[in-house]
Copies of this chain bind each other. A is one copy, B any other.
Amino acid sequence: MPTILDVARRAGVSKSLVSMVTRGEGGVSEEKRRAILEAIDELDYRPNAMARGLVQRQTRILGVMISDLQNPFFGAVISGIQERAEERGFRVLITTGDRTPSVEESAMENLLELRVDGLILASPRVGDEAIAHAGRSVPVVVLNRDTNDDSSDSVTNDNIAGARLAVEHLVSFGHRRIAFIEGGVGAGARIRREGYLRAMRDFGLEEEIVTVEGRHTEEGGHQGAMELLKMRVLPTAVFASNDLCAIGAMTAFEEAGLSIPDDLSLVGYDNNRMAALRHISLTTIDQPGGDMGRSAVERLLERIDGDRTEPSHDVVSPSLVVRSTTGPPRFEAKA
């Protein structure tokens, strides 16, 4: 693999000049520049980003840790990140631990060892300590997760408000017995659960609270729904912690012979591409993934450029998207 020295020799100049050319710096005579470009081409030279990064002490790379690449919602987030990063002259490198906490932490370490200039943690299962640790060496923005330590910024959607929107929508149809399928241990999931609980209480439905375990996957939703189906008295509506989970639940309910929304109403969270499909047509809470990705990049760059040292916590508003999985309960609400 050719080095800058090979190029310099071939072009009959010093390394410095080659460096100036690859960095697009001016002040090189047209003649030498041409010779250098030619040598680069002939040798298939490509600057070594590690050597460069080592001396420049920055990489202009933003690291992104995504826990579930199979969830289309994160596809939207990444699009937003990529778009804004590119505008600002940064590259984006993505890593995933495929939902395994230990692998995720090691993947994050990997990014850190590479000395990325900033890190976006999109809803991972990475522990608080690991985040704090990362935050000590590089600007970090976490997505959809509360941060205790104030070393990192966050961009979240208001999960409490979103959950309330879901419950409110169901209540407005006359539902009272509204169950919740949990989203597992991820940070955002816990807050949605909290939002559900609060909303139920606020609507005077404390007695009707039912929660079952689940996860932010179709399988998780399926299992949660099966739990619900075992109950003596079924809920008339179900709020699932995310769309994937809702879709899994939908499958389970329909397999059990229930018709949605006639026998049961269902609401998800995220508004991912699957939810919008005509055949799914899931009523859900929209979180603007692309916007959140773009904001995360902005926050990161402010830190990198040193424009801001105060922690920032962006909260975007979720909104209700009514589709075909919600309607009035089969029997008149008692109240």
A residues with a Cβ closer than 8 A to B are 1, 44, 46-51, 53-54, 59, 61, 69-72, 74-76, 78-79, 82-83, 86, 91-96, 98, 103, 107, 109-110, 112-115, 133, 136-137, 218, 247, 250-251, 254-255, 273-274, 277-280
Contact = CB atoms under 8 A, between A and B. Distances in A.
A113 B49 contact: yes
A136 to B, nearest CB: 5
Given A70-B75, A254-B278, A273-B70, A110 B91 contact: yes
A78 B82 contact: no
B78 A218 contact: no
B93 A95 contact: yes
A98 B79 CA distance: 7
- Which of A53, A78, A250 is packed against the most chain B CB atoms within 10 Å? A53
A240 to B, nearest CB: 15
A298 B173 CA distance: 55
12 contacts: A44-B136, A49-B115, A50-B53, A69-B74, A69-B78, A69-B94, A70-B76, A83-B98, A114-B114, A218-B277, A254-B278, A279-B279
B82 A75 contact: no
B278 A277 contact: no
Contacts of A92: 95-96
Nearest to A272: B70
Task: Tell me the dominant secondary structure on chain A's binding face.
Answer: helix
B96 A82 contact: yes
A218 B273 contact: yes
B46 A137 contact: yes
Contacts of A78: 69, 96, 98
Contact of A109 (B46, B273, B277): B46
Contacts of A54: 48, 50-51, 54
Contacts of A69: 69, 74-75, 78-79, 94
A223 B245 CA distance: 30
A309 to B, nearest CB: 17
A282 to B, nearest CB: 10
Contacts of A107: 91
The 10 A-B pairs of least Cβ separation, nearest first, read A70-B75, A49-B113, A50-B50, A279-B279, A94-B94, A251-B278, A69-B75, A49-B114, A50-B53, A91-B110
A44 B251 contact: no
A149 B93 CA distance: 28
A70 B72 contact: yes
Contacts of A53: 50
Given A70-B273, A274-B274, A86 B113 contact: no
A59 to B, nearest CB: 8
Contacts of A115: 48-50
A122 to B, nearest CB: 12
Contact of A113 (B47, B75, B112, B133): B47
